[in-house]
């Protein structure tokens, strides 16, 4: 949108009216009652960043312990808790809420040309539930009762007999709690993507980042219930004496693993798919070339998510399940190579076809592709059953999944932080420092995780809290620890750069990188209502269609598609994106926070086994839901 001073009087009047309609209360109350997807995105961002810091400290504690043989920074009990919480934090409290909650919330409505998410209050609720679940699990750690059976929490180790404290109950209830938040967020994304696209944005013109978020959200909806059921079984067995997992009473220990990995493998793609989406946003901008094979990449993103549901037993190759099952899952795992390779070729060829400008965001994507190829290749090795059986539970596995989860998932997140920083703050980051921070992070990552392949092949088991001298692992472990500290320095440099630039960076303007998607078509930071005129879309890169965007300025003057009557956003048809109706959206509300608090109390009471009080708060939550729905949108 052009700067306000060149607008005519009528346009300025319209913008003033939109400002008044969409403005939220100032100060703390405004943040507590907000339903603005951008503010909720920022709340998610800073909260997940805090959890990232906690997970990082846990990683450094472990690496310090393992830097030399017979380390004693942490005792075995503490080490188990720190290791488990590192995994739980990075997956459930950092990567997923960062990519869906922060990036997705902030960007999806902007990229779609919408003014908010489909369910703004539900969006706020998902944040408060996420915050509550994270705090609940960390309360366990601070009380020295943190989850301590690894992030996949295998039975029988996690049963009452071997783990009698509240540790596992913090894990189980915390994750059930967390999955409520993820489920409502995922449903919200899908409805937003299906219904709130700008007029003209048929599915084939939808940004690839949004395709990735669609794939992630559908995967979350389908995968999470399996984890929830598994955790409910575990709690029923631990608390009320049911029998699901003990063979002596007709249960099965493998049942836990089947249900867990039916969720757990799609989870891996849920972690990495948003990274693909970020890559497909950054590459066209800096290569100055549209993504080649656009429909294939979109389909590949959905296909990765789909195949992810057919490979779960490859986490169980060493459990003694029948060979025919193993072969099926090995073959399915090999299939993941196809959509992944389509995307790798599309990314690299797009860069080669364009005139790439290697600014920091694109460098991070380069690092991402490099790490993804290495992690992908070790992943293919695991699909070979004998190799998997030889290396399972060694550091080779740790190396593999850190290349994917840190190298392939977090690098695009870091690149995306630089890329969208000007949009969110209105200021530019410091480019030379950003480039330096990339090289530092890249070197640190490689030095931390590559030697893990070697110690893994040398036989070092994963999840050990210390190891003996003279096994030939010492030098590798020391270099991993040095790498971890270099990596930390790189991350601190990134956040230092962003913090400094937030206050001292030069003004960015609405579109500093000439991005192709709609978030660059509005001012930086975007106004509460996102777009003064709802943009009309005629291609997958609508911000490169200059004539269309100039038309927006004329429409603002004429008052077309401004929707200045109320808290409104347009809805379009699911497939073709024809303008369908105008929806009245809810505005700020105390109900999400109220309900979030009530549900938090329910889970705390369940943890303390005060079931009656939990029931009372359950009834209060039902009443709160009633109150939530008493306020109805105005009739058209």
Could you tell me the smallest distance in angstroms from the CB atom of residue 347 to other proteins? 17
Using CB under 8 A as the binding rule, whether residue 539 contacts other proteins is answered as yes
- Residue number with CB closer to other proteins (59 or 173): 173
Using CB under 8 A as the binding rule, whether residue 230 contacts other proteins is answered as yes
Interacting residues of 133 by C-beta distance below 8 A, sequence separation 6+ = 92, 174, 175, 177, 178, 181, 603
Among 221, 302, 384, 385, binds other proteins (CB under 8 A): 221
Between the CA of residue 288 and those of 362, 435, 513, what are the distances in Å? 12, 20, 10
- Residue number with CB closer to other proteins (117 or 275): 117
DSSP per-residue codes, 282-340: HHHHHHTSPPTTHHHHHHHHHHHHHHGGG-GGGGGTTTT--HHHHHHHHHHHHHTHHHH
- Of residues 98 through 157, those in contact with other proteins by CB under 8 A are 118-119, 122
- Residue number with CB closer to other proteins (81 or 237): 237
Among 537, 562, 598, 621, binds other proteins (CB under 8 A): 537
Among 34, 84, 133, 226, binds other proteins (CB under 8 A): 226
Interacting residues of 377 by C-beta distance below 8 A, sequence separation 6+ = none
- Of residues 295 through 324, those in contact with other proteins by CB under 8 A are 295
- Residue number with CB closer to other proteins (309 or 495): 309
Q: Give me the 243-272 binding string for other proteins, x by CB under 8 A, dash otherwise.
A: xx----xxxx--x--xx--x----------
Using CB under 8 A as the binding rule, whether residue 629 contacts other proteins is answered as yes
- Residue number with CB closer to other proteins (139 or 203): 203
Using CB under 8 A as the binding rule, whether residue 70 contacts other proteins is answered as no
Could you tell me the smallest distance in angstroms from the CB atom of residue 32 to other proteins? 24
Among 24, 560, 564, 580, binds other proteins (CB under 8 A): 580
DSSP per-residue codes, 421-481: HHHHHSB---HHHHHHHHHHHHHHHHHHHHHHHHHHHTTPBTT-S---TTSS-HHHHHHHH
d(CA 597, CA 617): 10
Cα 327 → chain centroid:
32
Could you tell me the smallest distance in angstroms from the CB atom of residue 248 to other proteins? 10
- Residue number with CB closer to other proteins (240 or 612): 240
- Residue number with CB closer to other proteins (255 or 334): 255
Using CB under 8 A as the binding rule, whether residue 576 contacts other proteins is answered as yes
Tell me whether the omega of the peptide bond preceding residue 138 falls within 30 degrees of 0, making it cis: no
- How many residues contact other proteins, by CB under 8 A? 61
Using CB under 8 A as the binding rule, whether residue 232 contacts other proteins is answered as yes
Q: Which stretch binds other proteins (CB under 8 A): 39-47, 169-177, 549-557, 628-636?
A: 628-636
Interacting residues of 142 by C-beta distance below 8 A, sequence separation 6+ = none
Q: Give me the 175-194 binding string for other proteins, x by CB under 8 A, dash otherwise.
A: --------x--xxx-xx--x
- Of residues 517 through 536, those in contact with other proteins by CB under 8 A are 536
- Residue number with CB closer to other proteins (29 or 619): 619
Per-residue tokens: 412:
């695009």
Could you tell me the smallest distance in angstroms from the CB atom of residue 385 to other proteins? 22
- Residue number with CB closer to other proteins (24 or 584): 584
Among 144, 204, 325, 389, binds other proteins (CB under 8 A): 204
3-state secondary structure 188-222: HHHHHHHHCCCCCCCHHHCCHHHHHHHHHHHHHHH
Between the CA of residue 361 and those of 87, 139, 366, 416, 424, what are the distances in Å? 26, 36, 9, 6, 15
Collapsed DSSP state (helix, strand, coil) of residue 29: helix
- Residue number with CB closer to other proteins (189 or 450): 189
Nearest alpha-carbon partner for 190 in 219, 161, 164, 232: 219
Could you tell me the smallest distance in angstroms from the CB atom of residue 184 to other proteins? 9
Per-residue tokens: 351:
């860069």
**In sequence order, what are the beta bridge partners of 572?**
579
Using CB under 8 A as the binding rule, whether residue 543 contacts other proteins is answered as no
Interacting residues of 386 by C-beta distance below 8 A, sequence separation 6+ = none
- Residue number with CB closer to other proteins (330 or 585): 585
d(CA 214, CA 193): 7
Could you tell me the smallest distance in angstroms from the CB atom of residue 627 to other proteins? 12
Q: Encode burial over 32-67: b for 16+ CB neighbours within 10 A, e otherwise.
A: ebbbbbbbbbbbbbebbeebbebbbebbbbbbebbb
Using CB under 8 A as the binding rule, whether residue 325 contacts other proteins is answered as no
Using CB under 8 A as the binding rule, whether residue 236 contacts other proteins is answered as yes
Could you tell me the smallest distance in angstroms from the CB atom of residue 431 to other proteins? 32
Using CB under 8 A as the binding rule, whether residue 466 contacts other proteins is answered as no
Nearest alpha-carbon partner for 313 in 321, 301, 302: 321
Nearest alpha-carbon partner for 296 in 340, 335, 331: 340
- Residue number with CB closer to other proteins (60 or 582): 582
Nearest alpha-carbon partner for 428 in 437, 436, 418, 438: 418
d(CA 143, CA 169): 13
Residues in touch with other proteins (CB under 8 A): 118-119, 122, 183, 186-188, 190-191, 194-195, 200, 204-205, 221-226, 228-230, 232-233, 236-237, 240-244, 249-252, 255, 258-259, 262, 294-295, 536-540, 571, 573, 576, 578, 580-581, 583, 622, 626, 629, 632-633, 635-636
């Amino acid at each position: 949108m052009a700067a306000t001073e060149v607008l005519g009087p009528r346009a300025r009047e319209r913008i003033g009216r939109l400002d008044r309609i969409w403005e939220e209360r100032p100060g703390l109350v405004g943040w507590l009652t907000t339903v603005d997807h951008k503010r909720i995105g920022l709340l998610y961002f800073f909260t997940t960043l805090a959890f990232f810091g906690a997970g990082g400290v846990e990683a450094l504690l472990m690496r310090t312990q393992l830097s030399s043989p017979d380390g004693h920074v942490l005792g075995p009990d503490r080490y188990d808790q720190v290791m488990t919480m590192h995994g739980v934090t990075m997956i459930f409290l950092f990567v997923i809420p960062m990519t869906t909650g922060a990036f997705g919330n902030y960007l999806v409505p902007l990229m779609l040309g919408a003014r908010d998410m489909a369910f703004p209050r539900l969006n706020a609720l998902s944040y408060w539930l996420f915050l509550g679940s994270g705090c609940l699990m960390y309360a366990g750690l601070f009380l020295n009762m943190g989850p301590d059976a690894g992030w996949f929490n295998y039975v029988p180790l996690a049963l009452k007999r071997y783990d009698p404290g509240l540790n596992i109950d913090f894990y189980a209830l915390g994750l059930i709690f967390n999955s409520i938040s993820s489920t409502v967020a995922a449903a919200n994304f899908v409805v937003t993507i299906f219904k709130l696209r700008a007029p003209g944005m048929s599915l084939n013109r939808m940004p690839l980042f949004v395709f990735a978020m669609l794939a992630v959200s559908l995967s979350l909806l389908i995968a999470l219930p399996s984890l929830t059921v598994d955790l409910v079984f575990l709690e029923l067995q631990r608390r009320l004496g049911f029998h699901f997992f003990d063979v002596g009473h007709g249960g099965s220990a493998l049942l836990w693993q089947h249900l867990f990995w039916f969720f757990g493998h799609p989870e891996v793609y849920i972690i990495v798919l948003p990274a693909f989406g970020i890559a497909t946003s950054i590459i066209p901008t800096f290569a100055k070339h549209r993504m080649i094979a656009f429909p294939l990449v979109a389909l590949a993103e959905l296909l990765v998510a789909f195949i992810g549901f057919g490979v779960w037993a490859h986490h169980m190759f060493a459990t003694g399940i029948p060979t025919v099952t193993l072969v099926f899952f090995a073959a399915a795992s090999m299939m993941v190579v196809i959509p992944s390779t389509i995307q790798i070729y599309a990314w690299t060829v797009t860069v080669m076809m364009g005139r790439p400008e290697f600014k920091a965001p694109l460098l991070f994507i380069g690092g991402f592709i490099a790490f993804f190829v290495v992690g992908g290749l070790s992943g293919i090795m695991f699909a070979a059953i004998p190799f998997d059986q030889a290396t399972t539970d060694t550091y080779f596995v740790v190396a593999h999944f850190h290349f994917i989860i840190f190298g392939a998932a977090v690098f695009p997140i870091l690149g995306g932080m630089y890329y969208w920083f000007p949009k969110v703050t209105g200021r530019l980051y410091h480019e030379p420092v950003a480039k330096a921070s990339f090289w530092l992070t890249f070197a640190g990552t490689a030095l931390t995780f590559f030697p893990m392949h070697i110690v893994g092949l040398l036989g070092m088991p994963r999840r050990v809290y210390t190891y003996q001298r003279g096994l030939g692992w010492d030098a590798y472990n020391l270099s991993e620890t040095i790498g971890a500290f270099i990596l930390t320095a790189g991350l601190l440099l990134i956040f230092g750069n962003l913090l400094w630039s937030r206050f001292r960076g030069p003004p960015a303007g609405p579109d500093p990188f000439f991005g192709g998607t709609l978030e660059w078509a509005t001012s930086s930071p975007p106004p509460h209502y996102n777009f003064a005129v709802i943009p009309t879309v005629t291609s997958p890169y609508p911000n490169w269609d200059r004539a269309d965007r100039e038309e927006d300025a004329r429409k603002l003057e004429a008052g077309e598609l401004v929707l200045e009557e109320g808290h409104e956003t347009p809805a379009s048809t699911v497939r073709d994106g024809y303008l369908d109706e105008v929806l009245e959206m809810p505005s700020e509300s105390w109900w999400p926070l109220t309900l979030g608090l009530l549900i938090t109390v329910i889970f705390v009471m369940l943890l303390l086994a005060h079931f009656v009080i939990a029931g009372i708060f359950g009834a209060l939550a039902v009443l709160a839901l009633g109150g939530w729905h008493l306020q109805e949108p105005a009739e058209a």
